[in-house]
Structure formats: C-alpha cells, structure tokens
Amino acid sequence: MFYLQIVFISIGCLFFIIGTVGLLRFPDVLTRIHALTKADNLGLGFIVVGLIPSQTSAADIAKLVICWLLILAASSVSAYLVANQHIRQTRKPE
Amino acid sequence: MMWFDVILGIGLIVAALGVFRSDALFRSVVFFVTFGILLALTWLRLQAPDLALAEAAIGAGLTGVLLLDTLGVLNKPATVKFSLPKHLLAAVVAVSAAMGLAWSFWTLLQLPAPVYNLVETLAANIDDSGVSHGITAVLLNFRSYDTLLEVAVLLVAIVIGLGLRQELRQELRQGVRYDKVQSNGENDEQSASLSSKQANAAEHEAPALLKSLVHVLVPLLLITAIFVLWAGSTRPGGAFQAGALIAAAGVLARLGNIDIASRVNLLLRTGLTIGVFIFLLVAVSPMLTGYAFLAYPPGWAGVLIILIELMLTISIGLILLSLFIHAPREKRNGGSS
C-alpha cells in the first residue's frame, strides 16, 4: 500500500510540474488556463487518492475529498471567469 | 523537514522582495498574497495554528481582496516610478528600523533568563479560565483587556472608513445612491427601494456559473465559521478567524452581485457595534457587584466567553466585510447604473 501511495503522489506531483511548465511556456491567457486548471486539478486528485490510505478515520478521508471537490469547483469557475474577462477585453477594440 | 523550513524561509524573503521590487502594482499584490500564504505555513511550522488561520484568512485572503479591489478602482496605469527623495527617505526609515530591531534584539540577549515561565503559568491556571484552549483563555480571560482594545480599534477603523466613503461619494455624486439612506432620514423607504432595485438589476449581470458557485460556497463558509467559532474553546479557532470567514462569505456574495449588506443599513450598523457593546457590558456589569473590571463572576466564565466570542464574530465579520463593500467604487457603480 505504501508503495502504491508513493506512485499516486508522484503522479500527482508530475501533473503539477507539467501544469507549471505549461503556465510558463504557453503563449497566451487561454492556453495557460488550460494547462493550469486541467493538469493541477488532476494532480491534486492523485495526491488526495495517495493520501487517503494514511488516514485513520472516515471523517479525515471525507475532509480530504471535500477539499478536492471544493478546489475543483472554485478553480473551474475562476478559470471560466478569467477566460471570460479575457475574451471580453480582447473583443472590445473590434 | 529542515530543508522544507529552509525553502519556506527563502520563499518568504523572495516573496517579500517581490512585493517591493515589482514594477506593476498588480504583481506586487500577487506577491503579497503569496507572502501571506507562505507566512501562514511558517506559523504552522512554528506550531501556532491559531496565527496560521488568522494570517491565511485575514492577512492573505481578505487583505489581498481589498488590495485587488483598490487596484480595480484606480484608474491610472498602476506602476511605481523611481523618485530619488522618496527612495532615500524609505532607505533611511528602513535602515533605522533595522538598527532599532538589531539593538532591541541585542538588549534582549543581554537580559537574564525570565523568572516567569508563561507557558507553565498558563497551564497551571487554565482550569479557572472557563475554556480548555490556551490561546482563547489568554485572549478572552487573562488578557481580555487587549482583545477589547483590538476590537475597539477595528470599530474605529470602520467608522472612519464609512465616514470617508460618504465624503468621497458626495464629491462624485452622479445620482441617487443608497448613501442617501443615512444622509437624510425622510427618504429612507424611497431610496432603500431604489437601491434594492439597483441591486436587483446588478444581480443579473453576474455570470451564472459564478452565481451558482456562490450559492454553494456561502452556506458552506457560514457553517465553517460557526464551527471555527465553536472550536475556539477547545482547539485552534475563535472569533477573529470565524469573523474572517463570515467576511469572506460576504465578499463572495458581493462578487456574485448578491448585494445583502447595502440593503440592511440599520441592521449592519447594529452588527458593527454589537461586539464591542456586549464586550463592554460584560466587562462593566461585574463591577456592580464588587468585582474588578473585566473579571468574570465565578462559574460564568465559559458561558460569557462564548457569548462575547459570538458577538465579536458577528462584528468582526461585518467590519471586515464593510471595509470591502463600502469602499468607494465609482468605476463599477458608474458602469452598472
């Protein structure tokens, strides 16, 4: 189980690194959001799954999962808002 | 863990430098929020979870929101220009502050070891305090005078904030705003209904996705605030952290264009003052029966602390929220009306 946890958390970290590379390398706002939200949320999910076996109580597991779900909701909505604002701002000059 | 601490320390310094060395103000604000989150982690590593909670919620979260909001209102291109006298003055202040710090650190080192061990004194007396969490016992029983003054300072800050708002609004008045509600009492109903009409009109502008997120998050935040308040008597938590969560819920609702606070002006004002009022009432009333100022009657400490904390939570939450909501924002209002 321990090694499985290591594998899951490593995959999670890898996704975070990929997301960060995307943030640094992609050319504009929309592609950067794409890299950040998709890769990071998946990475966070892997880390949460990797951490679940070390929890002793069901309440702690529930807290971890709730954290992930809340971050999923918040980051998807904020990504939408940033993208929306970006599109509005770039459209104006036309 | 030592390497984590080292990286954390370096990160703090880099973030602090980033705040001051950035050309664009927006970047400074982002660095400031990062600094706050790193600082919260640092408090956690120093085993001060109460401080970590407060720093994350107030230092990084709400202050960050306030700064971003201020940036949004500023019309000028937000960049810092180099000017020699200003930087020279800042350098002098920084150097003298650093020398003062070094001097006080040096004198601290020269002092003999303290005779009192505060941690042991606290542990010996905690049973008399009415709560089982040391921080809450210190904040609301052993050193409650400090807390009373802190909350009074917050109240003064928001009173000044509201005063400034009115003055600015009057300068920039373009039409009827809800600040009429307090400037002339007769028009209460009329302008209140007008302001709620404006608020209703504004509510349609918020993106549906944001609104539905707000609908989910605001109740969750309020429940968490109540939990944090309740937890304060036995573990890390308490009025300031819970108040910050309530304020965060209000800010979110406002961002989703659900304008609660400006519709209930009188209630808001009552809420702003009720914390200090109840605190003072509890502080003074034992004096009638011969106790000292701020001394809880025996056996009542636990109940009274919870009562004060509940009222403080409401007040702190509303004060922090009002600092955000009632900040002058002529840009956004001008656009919507």
Q: What is the DSSP string of B133-178?
A: -HHHHIIIIITHHHHHHHHHHHHHHHHHHHHHHHHHHHHT--S--T
In angstroms, the CA A72 to CA B93 distance is 45
Please compute the mean of the pLDDT values over residues A83-90 and round it to a whole number.
84
| Local structure of B12: helix, strand or coil | helix
Nearest CA in chain A to B207: A81
Assess contact for B39 and B59: CB atoms under 8 A: yes
CB A46 within 8 A of CB A5: no
Q: Do B210 and A70 touch (CB under 8 A)?
A: no
Whether residues B213 and A77 touch (CB distance < 8 A) is answered with yes
Per-residue pLDDT at B184 exceeds 60: no
CA distance B90 to chain A (A): 34
Task: Please tell me which of the candidates A70, A74, A84 has its beta carbon nearest to residue B207.
Answer: A84
Band (B141; pLDDT cuts 50, 70, 90): confident
Closest chain A residue to B209, measured at CA: A77
Place of tokens 């309740």: B230
**Alpha-carbon distance A10 to nearest alpha carbon in chain B (angstroms):** 18
CA neighbours closer than 13 Å in the CB half-sphere of residue A25:
7
Region B208-222: what's the mean pLDDT? Answer: 87
Q: What is the distance between the alpha carbons of residues B251 and B49, in angstroms, rounded to a whole number? A: 24
Residues 213-272 of B with CB under 8 A from A: 213, 216-217, 220
State how far the Cα of A80 lies from the Cα of A12, in Å rounded to an integer: 23
CA-based nearest residue to B201, from B258, B255, B254: B258
Report for B35-49, B61-75, B110-124, B271-285: range of highest mean pLDDT: B35-49
Tokens of residue B168, six digits = 């600015």
Q: What gap in Å lies between CA B301 and CA A42, rounded to an integer?
A: 49
CA-based nearest distance B139→chain A, Å: 29
B235-285 pLDDT tens trace: 888 888 898 888 888 888 888 877 666 666 777 788 888 888 888 888 888
For residue A87, the distance in angstroms to the closest alpha carbon of chain B comes to 14
Residues B213, A84: C-beta atoms closer than 8 Å = no
* Lowest-pLDDT range of A11-25, A32-46, B116-130, B162-176: B162-176
Report helix, strand or coil for B26. helix
Q: What is the mean pLDDT of residues B6-10?
A: 93
Q: Helices B208-231 and B301-325: crossing angle, nearest 10°?
A: 150
Chain B residues whose CB is inside 8 A of the A77 CB are 209-210, 213
Which three-class secondary structure string do you get for B82-136? CCHHHHHHHHHHHHHHHHHHHHHHHHHHHCCCCCCCHHHHHHHHHHHCCCCCHHH
All residues of chain B having their beta carbon less than 8 Å from the beta carbon of residue A74 are 213, 217
On the 0-12 / 13-18 / 19+ scale of CB atoms within 10 A, B256 is: buried
Q: What is the mean pLDDT of chain B?
A: 79
* ipTM, two decimals: 0.78
Query: What's the pTM?
Result: 0.74
Instruction: State whether A74 and B217 contact (CB < 8 Å).
Output: yes
B66 and B32 Cβ atoms separated by less than 8 Å: no
